[in-house]
């Protein structure tokens, strides 16, 4: 991720030239700072912050100073275009600008050593010095590493040296894994990122009557290009809202809460006392489903993935002795930040830290460059948070590996409606909960695995499978209906009946916010850019 005033090269020249075509007598917007991508690919590599010149404000247009805009998964997908594109080819641990460092898988106990065969394999790998990667079926890839450069007393405890994302290795959060799947929206590049947000009217064209400077507005339906400080668009793009709405909720109301509301209302007629079931309950949509269902007296059963409570400590390798005292068991892992890097082998200093950590008796050591200590909540803590929002029941996936899954419902009725944003086995669990004639709506696929349905579910339970995509729904001439629902949701928010986790971040800290949104730092609140 780079910050720059871009040179007039390639496709971006087209943007800059087009915005300079104006009459000197017309009103101009202020210069804008924007997140631009000139090609599709990994967002942290193809986006950069640039300065754009002012734009002519035509008679029917409105200039809006953006106040806040979120980073949504759909924003990331639009930049990627290929949602499941192979990511490994972009990684380079020896690039100082790379966000990833090497991941080392070591023996759990340095005193026991490793087998003779493993020693032989390590020797074969370490004795090779080359400028090209050395591939090994068992040991991964090593890039031109001289055995003499490694700590001599621990040469046999290196089981794997490969260029992979350590956080993905821990949490399975990789937006680029797999080979199939293309996101259906591929914006023409160069483009400005972002799809929703809130702003304040800066100035208006001569024929604009419904908006005035100082009004708060949101693009409704959502519109491309919200990751910039000033936006100029036609008056009919903007929807005026009250200025007493918390800025982070105003910036996020048009995608996730609207998705939750539409799915609750569009597929099955729900009555007070009915039940629904959903996976991905910790997502913003999931949190909204819980609260909106409660408002109408609808019971909700929620499925979350299993989580181990983890503590990661970022510190210099010189503090390893103190780190060892923190504890290292099934509930904790130690995160080591290398004290220094060598010019010849930048990753080797990280290897030293890992070796020293294992010599202190710490197992399962992960080494990656971070600046702050991190904490990941366990399943019980996540359950408690969801119940505070109004969840009736929350189960981890491992709890649902029973034959009679409905015995867990107690007095709750069998769900008539289910929501799936995960796919794979998690979707199958949702289907098992549904009563005969029930409907499952799929609106996402975070597991990147297909939804598999048994023949008996169709024949004997007569289940229905549906899909929902908000952008398609809004493209069906529903702008007026969309704004009515947004006003309704904003009213619910003002009443304190709709809440979800978010984190306001300065626009200047976009690279760090993007890292959190990409899942590099585990599960994080929704990132909201504050302009």
Furthest C-alpha separation in the chain: 82
Distances, alpha carbon 154 to alpha carbons 319, 400, 430, in Å: 20, 44, 49
**Rg of the chain taking only CA atoms, in angstroms:** 26
Dump strand ranges (E) for 148-197: 158-162, 191-192
The phi-psi region of residue 381 (left if phi > 0; otherwise alpha if psi is between -120 and 50; otherwise beta) is alpha
| CA 155 to chain CA mean position, Å | 38
Nearest by Cα to 105 from 427, 358, 376: 358
Among candidate residues 183, 249, 345, 443, the one labeled active-site is 183
3-state DSSP assignment of residue 4: coil
Nearest by Cα to 259 from 504, 435, 74, 516: 74
Dump strand ranges (E) for 368-470: 374-376, 393-396, 417-420, 439-442, 464-467
DSSP string of 115-127, one letter each residue: -HHHHHHHHHHHT
Q: Which residue has the tokens 């969840």?
A: 391
Token code pair at residue 74: 């759909």
Alpha-carbon gap, residue 452 to 112, rounded angstroms? 44
Question: Is 352 tagged catalytic?
Answer: no
Alpha-carbon gap, residue 429 to 280, rounded angstroms? 12
Sign of the Cα torsion 36, 213, 508, 284 reads negative
Q: Annotated catalytic sites, by residue?
A: 183
């Amino acid at each position: 991720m780079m910050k720059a005033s871009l040179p007039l090269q390639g496709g971006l020249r087209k943007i800059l030239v087009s915005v300079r075509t104006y009459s000197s007598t017309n009103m101009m917007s202020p210069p804008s700072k924007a997140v631009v991508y000139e090609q599709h690919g990994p967002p942290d590599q193809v986006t950069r912050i640039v300065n754009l010149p002012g734009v002519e404000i035509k008679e029917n247009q409105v200039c809006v100073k953006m106040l806040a805009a979120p980073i949504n998964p759909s924003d990331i997908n639009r930049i990627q275009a290929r949602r499941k594109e192979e990511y490994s080819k972009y990684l380079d641990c020896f690039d100082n600008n790379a966000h990833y460092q090497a991941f080392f898988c070591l023996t759990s106990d340095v005193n026991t050593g490793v087998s003779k065969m493993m020693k032989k394999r390590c020797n074969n790998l370490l004795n090779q010095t080359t400028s090209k990667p050395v591939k090994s079926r068992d040991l991964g890839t090593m890039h031109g590493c001289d055995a003499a450069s490694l700590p001599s007393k621990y040469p046999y405890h290196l089981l794997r040296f490969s260029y992979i994302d350590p956080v993905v290795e821990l949490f399975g959060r990789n937006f680029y894994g797999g080979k199939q799947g293309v996101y259906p929206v591929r914006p023409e590049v160069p483009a400005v990122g972002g799809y929703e947000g809130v702003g304040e009217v800066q100035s208006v064209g001569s024929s604009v009557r419904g908006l005035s400077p100082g009004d708060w507005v949101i693009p409704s339906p959502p519109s491309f290009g919200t990751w910039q400080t000033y936006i100029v668009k036609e008056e009919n793009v903007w929807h005026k809202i009250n200025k007493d709405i918390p800025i982070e909720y105003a910036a996020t109301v048009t995608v996730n809460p609207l998705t939750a509301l539409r799915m609750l209302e569009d597929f099955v007629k729900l009555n007070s006392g009915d039940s629904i079931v959903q996976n991905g309950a910790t997502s913003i949509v999931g949190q909204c489903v819980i609260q909106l269902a409660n408002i109408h007296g609808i019971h909700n059963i929620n499925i979350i993935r299993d989580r181990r409570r983890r503590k990661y400590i970022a510190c210099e390798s010189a503090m390893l002795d103190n780190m060892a005292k923190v504890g290292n068991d099934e509930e904790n892992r130690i995160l080591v930040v290398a004290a220094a890097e060598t010019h010849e082998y930048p990753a080797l200093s990280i290897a030293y830290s890992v070796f020293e950590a294992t010599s202190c008796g710490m197992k399962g050591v992960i080494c990656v460059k971070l600046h702050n200590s991190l904490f990941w909540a366990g399943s019980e803590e996540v359950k408690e948070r969801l119940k505070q929002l109004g969840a009736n029941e929350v189960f981890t996936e491992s709890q649902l590996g029973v034959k009679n899954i409905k015995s867990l419902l107690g007095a709750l009725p069998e769900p008539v409606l289910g929501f799936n944003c995960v796919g794979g086995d998690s979707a199958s669990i949702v289907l098992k909960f549904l009563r005969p004639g029930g409907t499952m709506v799929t609106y996402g696929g975070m597991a990147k695995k297909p939804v598999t349905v048994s023949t008996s579910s169709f024949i004997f339970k007569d289940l229905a499978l549906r899909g929902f995509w908000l952008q398609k729904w809004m493209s069906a001439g529903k702008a007026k209906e969309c704004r009515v629902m947004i006003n309704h949701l904003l009213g619910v928010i003002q009443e304190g009946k709709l809440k979800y986790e978010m984190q306001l971040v300065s626009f200047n800290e976009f690279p760090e916010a993007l890292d959190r949104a990409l899942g590099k730092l585990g599960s994080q609140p929704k990132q909201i850019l504050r302009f």
